[in-house]
Amino acid sequence: MKTKKRGTLFVLSGPSGVGKGTLRARALKDIEGLTYSVSCTTRPPRPGDREGVDYRFVSEEEFTRMIEKGLFLEYARVHGGPRYGTLREDVERELDAGQDVLLEIDVQGARQIRAIVPDAVMIFLLPPSDEELERRLRERGTETEAELSARMASARQELKEARTYDRVLVNDDLDKASAALRTMIMDFREGRSQR
Ligand code: ADP
Ligand code: 5GP
C-alpha cells in the first residue's frame, strides 16, 4: 500500500503589525490544500472575530488547564498580555493526512516550533522599515499609545532573529509579498526548494 507523504509545517512569524495576518489570509485563499491551524487565545474577541474561525476564545483558567494536559504544540504570552497557543492535535492530524499546515504565530512560539519540529519551514516577515512598521500599527488602530511603544520596542529585538529563519520575506508591496510567499510555499511543496 502506498503511504501518503506527510505534510509540511510552514511557520509565518515576525513583529506585530508587519502584516502576518494579512498575508496569512491571502495565502489561504491563494494556495490550494494549505490549511490553517486556528489558535486558542485568552484575549477577548474583537468586533468581527469569529469563534472557531479566527480563534478559539478561552479563559485564563481554561488555557492553564490545556497547558497542563499537554494540548499545545507551542504557546506564549504575547506582549505581556493574553496567551496564545497552537493545538497539537489539529496540526498532527492535518500533517498525518498529508496536508500542509500554516501557523501564524509570534516569535516566541516560532522559537518553540523550531526546537520541536526540526523540519518545519520557518519564514520571517520583515517590514520595509521601522517607520513603516509603526505607521501600519497606528493605521490598524488596535493598540493604545503605550501598547504601541511596547510593540515597537519588542519589534526591535525580534527583528534581530530574522537571520535564524529559513527564509526572510519583506512585506513592502502587498501583492508582491503575497506572490513571493506563494512561490516560496509552492517551491517547498514541489521539491524545488529545500531548507
Ligand atoms: P500582524 O498580523 O503582523 O500584526 P496585520 O496583518 O494586522 O499585521 O497588518 C498590520 C496593518 O498593516 C494592517 O492594518 C494591514 O492592513 C496593514 N498592512 C499589511 N500589509 C501591508 C502592506 N504590504 N502595505 C501596507 N499596509 C499593510
Ligand atoms: P492578535 O491578538 O492581534 O490576533 O495577535 C497577536 C499576536 O499573537 C500576533 O503576533 C499573532 O501572530 C500571535 N499569535 C496568534 N496565534 C498564536 C499562537 O497560537 N501562538 C503564538 N505563539 N502566537 C500567536
Name the residue with cell 527564509.
167
Grid cell, residue 172, equals 513592502
Rounded Cα distance, 18 and 184, in Å: 18
pLDDT tens string 108-137: 999 999 999 999 999 999 999 999 999 999
Pairing of strands 83-87, 72-77: antiparallel
- 15-32 in b/e form (b: 16+ CB < 10 A) is bbbbbbebbbebbeeebe
Assess whether pLDDT exceeds 80 at residue 3: no
pTM of the predicted protein model: 0.96
Pocket test of ligand 2: the residue of 20, 86, 106 to mutate, having most ligand atoms within 8 Å of its CB, is 106
22 touches ligand 1 (CB under 6 Å) = yes
Q: Is 8 left (phi over 0), alpha (psi -120 to 50) or beta?
A: beta
CA distance 123 to 6: 20
Q: Is the CB of 43 under 6 A from ligand 2?
A: yes
